[in-house]
A = this chain, B = another copy of it.
C-alpha cells in the first residue's frame, strides 16, 4: 500500500516547488528560492544540486549575470549564482487547430520557439482523420527542420476551440470538427506514439499567461479569449480550474440578456451572440455584402474589411464594436463579481480590434461591478499574436510532464 508521507514524497514535493519557482522567475538566486518557497537554504542547495545533475536547470551564463550587475551580488559582496531552466533538457511540441489553419510549434524546455509551421486548411471541410494526418505531417516536418527526431519530443500539447474533456482527451464539440465527439488524443497518439494532451484553446492561452505572461505570480486570475467564440480560463489557487466534469469555465454562453440575440448554440442572450466574430459580422452584414460565413476565409475577409472601415471612422461600424464592447464589459463585470480575481487578461485574435471597443467595454465593466471591486481589478489586454498559442501548448505539455506529486494537488 502506498504511503503518502515519506522521505521520497518530500523530495518530490521540494523538487517540484523549486523547479516551479525557477520557471516562474526566469533567472533566480538560491537565496530567493528559499525565501519564496519557505524551504531552508540547505534544502534548496540539495534540491538545486539534484536538478543541476539531472540537467533540468543550469547556471546562467556570465554574460547575463554581468548584465544584471549589482543585483547579482549577495549582501557579502560575493557574486550570486543565478539559476534558470536548461533549455536543452527536453523539447515539446504545441499544436493549435483553428478554423482556417493548423499550427505546429516546437519549443525547448525553457519555452523558446525552435521551429514552427502553419498549414492553411479549412479544418471543418475535412474528416478528423485527415486533420490528424495533417498535424502529423506538419509536426514531422517541423522536427526535421529543428534537427530532432519525433522520439525526442517529450510531449505534445494540442489546443482546439470547443468543449474538451481534458482527462479523456476527447473533443465533445468543436467548430473545427462539426458534429459528434472526436477522440483526438487517441487519434494523435496512434500516429505519433508520444504523450499527447488535448485542451480547450482558451486553457492554452491561460497556461501561457500563467507560465510566461501577466498571470505569473498571481494565484487567482482569469483569461478571456475573443475570436471565433468567446472562451475563458480560470486560475484558482495557482492552478487551472477544470470544474467537476472537466468542462471548466464556459464564459461565452453565459447569458447577458434574457431572451436576447440568437446564438450559434441555439440559445438566446449568450455573450457570444453579441461579441464573437459571427455576431459582429451578422450585425455588419448589410454593410459588407459578405459571402458564406461558414467559410473561415470569408470570415477573415469580413473582419479585415470591418477593421478597415472602423479605422476610417465609419460610424455604423464603430457602433457595432461599441455594443460588442458594452456586452463584453457587462460579462466581465459578472466574472469579477463571481471570481474576485486579481487580474482579468483579454487575449485572442480579435484583440487587434480592441481599440474600437475598449472604451465601451471598460465603462460597462466599471459600471457593473460591485463598488468594492471598482478600479481595484485591472483588465489587461494581451496583444501577443500566435505566440500565445505556441507558448500555451508548450506550457501545457511541460506542465503535464512535470506535474507536482499527487499529494500536492489533491484537495484536503
Q: Which residues of A contact B (CB under 8 A)?
A: 1-5, 10, 13-14, 16-17, 20, 34, 37-41, 43, 163, 172-173, 218-221, 232, 236-239, 241-251, 253-258, 260, 265, 267, 326-327, 330, 333-335, 337-342, 367-368, 370-373, 376-377, 404, 407-409, 411-412
> Cβ of A172 and Cβ of B372 under 8 Å apart?
yes
Known: A163-B370, A172-B372. A334 touches B254 (CB 8 A): yes
Pick the residue among B2, B256, B409 that contacts A258 (CB under 8 A).
B256
B338 contacts A249, CB within 8 Å?
A: yes
Whether B254 lies near A257 (C-beta < 8 A) is no
With A237-B237, A265-B370, A412-B408 in contact, do A4 and B38 touch (Cβ < 8 Å)? yes
A2 touches B341 (CB 8 A): no
* Alpha-carbon gap, A245 to B373, bound state (A): 9
**Can you give 23 contacting A-B residue pairs, CB < 8 Å?**
A2-B38, A2-B40, A5-B43, A219-B411, A232-B338, A237-B411, A238-B412, A243-B341, A245-B342, A245-B372, A245-B377, A246-B340, A248-B340, A251-B337, A253-B337, A254-B334, A254-B337, A254-B338, A255-B333, A258-B326, A258-B330, A265-B370, A334-B334
The oligomer's copy count stands at 2
Chain B residues with CB under 8 Å of A219's CB are 244, 411
Instruction: Enumerate chain B residues within 8 angstroms of A13, measured Cβ to Cβ.
Output: 5
Complex: chain B residue closest to A252, CB-CB: B337
Nearest B-chain residue to A337, judged by Cβ: B250
- Looking at chain A's contact residues, the main secondary structure is loop
- Of B242, B247, B342, B371, which contacts A372 at CB under 8 A? B247
Task: For residue A289, give the distance in angstroms from its CB to the closest CB of chain B.
Answer: 30
- Which residues of B have CB within 8 Å of A247? 340, 370, 372-373
Residue in B closest to A218 when the chains form the complex, CB atoms: B244
Considering the complex, give the chain B residue whose CB is closest to the CB of A41: B1
Complex: A260 Cα to B163 Cα, angstroms: 31
Q: Which of B40, B172, B220, B370 interacts with A250 by CB under 8 Å?
A: B370
Chain B nearest CB from A17 CB (Å) reads 7
Expressed in whole angstroms, the Cα–Cα distance for A5 and B16 within the complex equals 13
Determine the distance from Cα of A133 to Cα of B220 in the docked complex, in whole angstroms.
38
Q: Bound complex: CA of A373 vs CA of B243, how far in Å?
A: 11
Q: How far is the CA of A124 from the CA of B297 in the complex (A)?
A: 62
Residue of B at shortest CB range from A335?
A: B338
Which of B17, B339, B371 is in CB contact (< 8 Å) with A249? B339
Is B16 within 8 A of A412, CB to CB?
yes
Give every chain B residue within 8 A of A326 (Cβ-Cβ): 258
User: Which residues of chain B are near A221, meaning CB under 8 Å?
Assistant: 244
Tell me, rounded to whole Å, the shortest Cβ–Cβ distance linking A223 to chain B: 13
Q: Of A13, A267, A338, which is in contact with the most chain B CB atoms at under 10 Å from its CB?
A: A338
